[in-house]
Amino acid sequence: MDPCVFCQIIAREAPAAVVREWDDALAFAPLGPVVPGHLLVIPKQHVTDVAEDPAVSAAAMRAASELATPPCNIITSAGREATQTVFHLHLHIVPRRDGDGLALPWYSSRLVLPGGAA
């Protein structure tokens, strides 16, 4: 089994631009940010995804909420089919602005919510 790169970052065995650390979580800039200010928040305890341990997932969301500044997306994926590529729970904080051109992976012009919002 390949070592978990996020566990290596937590152990300071792999480099990362850490922006904040809590007792139970760590926030850092990803290598390929999709927009300026894009951050990742990971729990220090290794769990594969958001469904594995609700308490760990809640702690990671608490940390992400302390860094999030609206407008933004906070996104996580669970499973390869859901586009997860690193199998250690991580939350993307993605700052947004009008006209940034960044489409969510499930965006469709056919998706219209009540009230006309997409």
Cβ neighbours, 10 Å, residue 51: 12
E strand or H helix at 7, and its extent? helix 5-10
CATH of the domain at 17: 3.30.428.10
Count of CA atoms in the C-beta half-sphere (13 A) of 115: 1
Q: Is the N-terminal amide bond of 54 cis, ω within 30° of 0?
A: no
What is the full per-residue pLDDT of the chain (118 aa) written as tens digits?
Answer: 568 999 999 999 999 999 999 999 999 999 989 899 999 999 999 999 999 999 999 999 999 999 999 999 999 988 888 778 889 999 999 999 988 888 776 555 454 555 554 4
Q: Which of 38, 46, 88, 90 is catalytic?
A: 90
Of the candidates 116, 92, 115, the residue with the CA atom closest to the CA atom of residue 105: 92
What's the pLDDT score for residue 114? 54
Residues 42 and 61: their CA atoms lie apart, in Å, by 9
Q: What is the pLDDT of residue 118?
A: 47
- 63 with 22: CB under 8 angstroms? yes
Count of structural domains, the chain: 1
Is 38 known to be catalytic?
A: no
State the residue range of the domain holding 37.
5-116
